[in-house]
Amino acid sequence: MAEPLLDVQNLEMVFENKYQAFTAVDHLSFSVEKGQTLGIVGESGSGKTMAALSVMKLLPNQGRVSGGKILFEGKDLVPLKDREMQRLRGRELAMIFQDPMMSLDQVYTVGSQIVEAILTHEPVGKKQAEERALALLAAVGIAHPQRVFRSYPFELSGGMCQRVMIAIALSCNPKLLFADEPTTALDVTVQAQILDLLRKVRDEYQMGIVLITHDLGVVSDIADRVIVMYAGKSMEDASTDVIMNHPAHPYTMGLIQSAPKLEEQVERLHSIEGAVPDIRSMPKGCRFCTRCPQANDLCRETEPQAKEIAPGHFVRCHYAGS
Ligand SMILES: Nc1ncnc2c1ncn2[C@@H]1O[C@H](COP(=O)(O)OP(=O)(O)O)[C@@H](O)[C@H]1O
Ligand SMILES: [Mg+2]
């Protein structure tokens, strides 16, 4: 089998200060192949963003990778120096964030921001970079590239800004794109358009995509594989079809029941009561035990290990597959 584009093995990420350390991502493993999409799903506070920022080496202060390997095309990124990493970011690895309004600079035109991104990484002239920027705006489905090129971000809608962010991310033909909640701030129709666009660019450029979302509905028709994260750990990991149709972890089942359907825009009928535990006070046994409808004494006392209940289907639950 070909080597995966990204192969993350036992990633551990901690926040620490003089007195304490808290683990936000705990022995997380995942891989992404060229042209494929991995979905990372979980409620807010599960560690999804920190997992992505660990790979990008853009962790906030006091956060650091404390264990594991991050192999990108076979090369471990963990020991890389900032300079080398900067070269990789933008050229090989790119990331788009939840709120495009926050990520774009409000005082520069859209065009100048894309041109800047191109010039930082490619040995081209300004004129060429401008042409490339216009082509990118057209490629991300913007009907009037010239006009948007001259606009300031605040003059554009949220969906339009997200397209611009995707254009910037694509500007250097990255091999791998992290999309962190790229549609959360958008209304349902625009969400679907942005997902279509991600699918299109993935297929066209044979990019690997890691799509991060709290909404299983969003990954269900774009991801090849899904990891369900809870409180820093992978709870279930399988092909999208298995996750959607044969979930084995009570948390995944809860997420499926509470996922709004993209096309139907139905009200949330169920939601899982409670919240993801704080990294500073994790339950002793299974991390989900405080909210799990099936939890018993074993779950409260002993943390389950991940087990492979069918080929390629990993579940961290004492009772899965039995
Ligand atoms: N700058 C920070 N300092 C300390 N803890 C943080 C910081 N940023 C995030 N965390 C904690 O790390 C955990 C994972 O956060 P995050 O990766 O942002 O979750 P998600 O993206 O799944 O919502 C959370 O418990 C959060 O409180
Ligand atoms: Mg996040």
Residues 161 and 147 in one domain: yes
Mean pLDDT (whole number) for 251-277:
73
Rounded to 5 degrees, what angle do the CA atoms 312, 314, 317 make?
160
Q: Give one DSSP letter per residue of 209-264, joined into a string.
A: EEEEES-HHHHHTT-SEEEEEETTEEEEEEEHHHHHHS--SHHHHHHHHHPPPTTT
Residue 220 has pLDDT above 80, yes or no: yes
Ligand nearest to the CA of 95: 2
| Per-residue model confidence (pLDDT) at position 154 | 94
Same domain, 249 and 280: yes
Domain boundary pick from 123, 144, 173: 173
Total domains in the chain come to 2
More confident residue, 264 or 111: 111
| pLDDT (tens digit per residue) in 208-218 | 999 999 989 88
* CA 48 / ligand 1 centre spacing (Å): 8
Which residue carries 């035109």 as its tokens?
Answer: 109
Q: Which is higher by pLDDT, 100 or 301?
A: 301
Residue 197, domain member (yes or no): yes
Average pLDDT of the residues in 60-88: 95
Q: Decide: 77 and 85 in contact? Cβ < 8 Å.
A: yes
Tell me how far the alpha carbon of residue 233 lies from the centroid of ligand 2, in angstroms: 14
Which of 138, 173, 208 terminates a domain? The answer is 173
SS3 at position 33: coil
Q: Are 182 and 198 in contact (CB under 8 A)?
A: yes
Average pLDDT over residues 155-173: 91
- Whether residue 311 lies inside any domain: the answer is no
Is 275 found in the same domain as 189?
yes
Whether the pLDDT of residue 268 is over 50: the answer is: no
Q: Put the strands of the sheet holding 233-239 in their side by side order.
A: 93-96, 176-180, 208-213, 37-41, 225-230, 233-239, 313-315, 307-310
pLDDT of residue 101: 74
Evaluate if residue 185 carries a pLDDT over 90. no
Site to substitute for ligand 1 among 50, 213, 229, most atoms within 8 A of C-beta: 50
The reply to whether 179 and 48 lie within a common domain is yes
In this structure, the answer to whether residues 88 and 129 fall within a common structural domain is: no
Give the torsion through C-alpha atoms of 191, 193, 199, 205, to 10 deg. Answer: -120
Distance, in Å, from the CA atom of 203 to the CA atom of 269, rounded to the nearest integer, reads 35
Q: Are 192 and 262 in contact (CB under 8 A)?
A: yes
**Helix, strand, coil fractions of the chain, as percent rounded to 5:** 35, 25, 40
Say if 314 falls within a structural domain.
Answer: no
Residue 312 lies in a domain: no
- Select the more confidently predicted residue: 186 or 17: 17
Output the six-digit token pair for 89: 């970011």
Same domain for 169 and 21, yes or no, is no
- Statement to judge: residues 66 and 212 lie in one domain: yes
pLDDT of 322 over the 80 cut: no
High-pLDDT (> 90) share of the chain, %? 74
**Arithmetic mean of pLDDT, 37-57:** 96
Q: What is the pLDDT of residues 111-156, one digit of tens each?
A: 999 999 999 888 899 999 999 999 999 989 899 999 999 999 999 9
> Looking at the structure, do residues 115 and 127 belong to the same domain, yes or no?
yes
CATH of the domain at 28: 3.40.50.300
CA-closest residue to ligand 1 atom 18: 49
pLDDT for 261 equals 59
Ligand nearest to the CA of 43: 1
Same-domain status, 279 and 181: yes
Interval 270-321: pLDDT, tens: 578 888 998 888 999 999 999 999 999 999 999 999 999 999 999 999 999 8
Is residue 316 assigned to a domain? no
Looking at 120, 140, 173, which one is the last position of a domain?
173
pLDDT at 1 over 70: no
Helix (H) or strand (E) holding 177: strand 176-180
- Share the mean pLDDT of the chain: 92
- Ligand lying closest to the C-alpha of residue 24: 1
Assess whether 165 and 200 both reside in one domain.
no
At residue 263, does pLDDT exceed 70? no
Ligand 1 is surrounded, with C-beta below 6 A, by 15, 24, 42, 44-50, 60, 62, 278-279
Report the C-alpha gap between 265 and 189 in whole angstroms: 10
Phi and psi based region of residue 231 (left: phi greater than 0; alpha: psi -120 to 50; beta: remaining): left
Question: CA 145 → CA 112, 132, 134, 252, distances in Å?
Answer: 13, 11, 6, 41
Nearest-angstrom CA–CA distance, 243 and 236: 8
Residue 15, beta-bridge partner list:
22, 63
Atom of ligand 1 nearest to the CA of 52: 17
Q: What is the pLDDT of residue 109?
A: 96
Q: What is the pLDDT of residue 122?
A: 84
Q: How far is the CA of 49 from the centre of ligand 2 (A)?
A: 4
Shared domain check, 226 and 77: yes
Distances (CA, A) of 56 to 14, 51, 135, 238: 15, 9, 27, 24
pLDDT at 249: 97
Residue 25 is assigned to a structural domain of this protein:
yes
The residue to mutate among 13, 15, 95, having the most atoms of ligand 1 within 8 angstroms of its beta carbon, is: 15
Nearest alpha carbon, ligand 1 atom 24:
45
Domain that holds residue 77: 6-92+174-289
**DSSP-derived 3-state class of residue 180:** strand
- Is 266 a domain residue? yes
Q: Give domain status of residue 249, yes or no.
A: yes
Q: Based on the domain organization, do 58 and 155 belong to the same domain?
A: no
- What sign for the dihedral angle of Cα 191, 195, 196, 198? positive
